[in-house]
Structure 1
Amino acid sequence: MQENISSKELMLKKIRKALLEKRDHPHPNLEETPLYKKEEELLEIQFAEQLSAVSGNFIFCESGMDFIENMLELADRFKWRKIYCWEPELQGLLEQYEFPFYKTDKDFEMAEAGITLCEALIARNGSVMVSNETGAGRRLSIYPHHHIVIAKTGQLVSDLKDAFALIKNKYGSQLPSMITTITGPSRTADIEKTLVLGAHGPKELFVFLVDDFS
């Protein structure tokens, strides 16, 4: 019995000694510790590569006119007739160039394409960050077969931490109740382990990075 007590006291003595020792960094500052090595590629290239790797489509546009020209090409290729846009900023751009679209949810069950803004583009994994605070809400990003995302160059960031910094700077303490990321078209492999795109959401994702909205 005495031996057990001595062993216990010895162990406690070692613990007390260890706690009293001075340590330079007992609690490392993980916030300032980089999780990934610094990338040498431009963010635009990195995002395009990562988005393509998850079956997404990246299109860089120098201006609003360039965006409209690309949209006309896509609409012709996929024979879109039901294109929906509920973002006031994007509606103004589309109307400026007389691009046809639906402002309301009329015949929404027949929607073929939805055009939305986003909160950020995350270059490291090719993801699009969205929230329920945008004019499109949630429906336009999940219901139509084709989801078109429009982002400005200032919304392109390196990783998730930078994307949340944009959100915090934009909304302050009033954060959106829903913040999520979209990484390529929806997918599932639940049926016989076969990968299927668009099983529970858009079959195609197009991300436009527009340098100048004017």
Structure 2
Amino acid sequence: MRNITTSKEKLLKKIRQALLEKRDNPYPNLENLPLYPPVDGHLDVMFAEQFMAVSGQFAFCEDEVQFIETLLELAEQRNWRKIYCWEPALQEILARYEYPYFETDKDFEQAEVGFTLCEALIARNGSILLSNANAAGRRLSIYPPVHIVLAYASQLVPDLKDGFKLLKEKYGNNVPSMITNITGPSRTADIEKTLVLGAHGPKELFVFLLEG
């Protein structure tokens, strides 16, 4: 009787033989090599380019005055009236220049803009690292159709691992229960491969980067 060996049996036989033969790892230092090449250039420029490439809108501000002036101009153009801000540090800046905002969640279903800070800006892919450790919690960056983030140059890092390092330095063992990485406005192309913005979150995403 002829011995019949299927393709599956041949493959399993090769696997068994390979497991029995002990060989040295041909790439012993592979895991120690960096995944990406070193960042060459300014982090702010890299972040801005990558962020705008995924439909984000970016504004660099030298100081708080320029930030408020840019925000006022933008709000006037878009006719924003219901801007919600829950983080004390951000509220302090807006109050200093008498910029109107909602500090509670009253009529939150009518919110037009959610205004938050962030944990870090990831230059490599133009992403924003957020957590629920601050007063903005989980809702303010998700529900309103427009999300505005105020960030500082000191929060710019090359890669995601550097962002997590900042979190570790800031919170120690009390890591926030929610950490999210946002890359551009919410989007989907599930239906007929047509790109739709604002499918599961904000339709527009702005980053104001302060030098100081």
Distance 1:86 1:14, change over 3 A: closer
Residue 70 (1) aligns with residue 70 (2): yes
Q: Identity across aligned pairs (percent)?
A: 62
The residue number in structure 1 matching 2:150 is 150
Equivalent runs, 1:131-170 vs 2, <5 Å: 131-170=131-170
Residues 37 and 13 of structure 1, relative CA distance in 2, 3 Å threshold: closer
Equivalent-residue separation in structure 2 for 1:187 and 1:63 (angstroms): 32
Q: Which amino acid aligns with 2:112?
A: E
Residue aligning to 1:37: 37
Number of residue equivalences: 196
The 2-side partners of 1:144 and 1:13 are apart by: 59
Structure 2 residue identity aligned to 1:81:
R
1:114 counterpart SS class: strand
Structure 2 unmatched ranges of 5 or more? 1-17
The C-alpha deviation readout for 1:72-103, integer Å capped at 9, x for no partner, is: 01100110000000000000000000000000
TM-score by length of 1: 0.86
Q: 1:13 to 1:40 in 2, by over 3 A?
A: closer
Alignment of 1:95-110 (within 5 A): 95-110=95-110
1:175-195: CA deviation from partner (whole Å, max 9, x where unpaired): 111111000000011222100
Q: Is the 8 A contact 1:118 1:130 kept in 2?
A: yes
Quickly say closer, same or farther: Cα 1:108–1:26, change in 2 above 3 A.
same
CA distance in 1, matches of 2:190, 2:108: 28
Alignment correspondent of 1:28: 29
Q: Which residue of 1 aligns with 2:120?
A: 120
Task: Give, in whole Å, the separation in 2 of the partners of 1:156 and 1:40.
Answer: 14
What is the CA distance between 1:58 and its match in structure 2?
Answer: 1.0
In structure 2, C-alpha distance between the alignment counterparts of 1:115 and 1:13, rounded to whole Å: 60
Instruction: Tell me which residue corresponds to 1:4.
Output: none
Write the letter of the residue equivalent to 1:189: A
Runs of 4+ in 1 over 2 A off after TM superposition: 11-15, 25-30
Equivalent residues of 1:119, 1:129 under 8 A apart: yes
- Cα deviation for residue 13 of structure 1 reads 9.2
- Where does residue 86 of structure 1 map in the other structure? 86
> In the alignment, which residue of structure 2 is the partner of 1:8?
none
Report the TM-score when normalising by structure 2: 0.87
Q: 2: distance between equivalents of 1:47 and 1:72?
A: 24
What letter is aligned with 1:54? V
Secondary structure (helix, strand or coil) at the match of 2:147 reads strand
User: Structure 1: any 5+ residue segments left out of the alignment?
Assistant: 1-10
CA contact (8 A) 1:118 1:134 kept: no
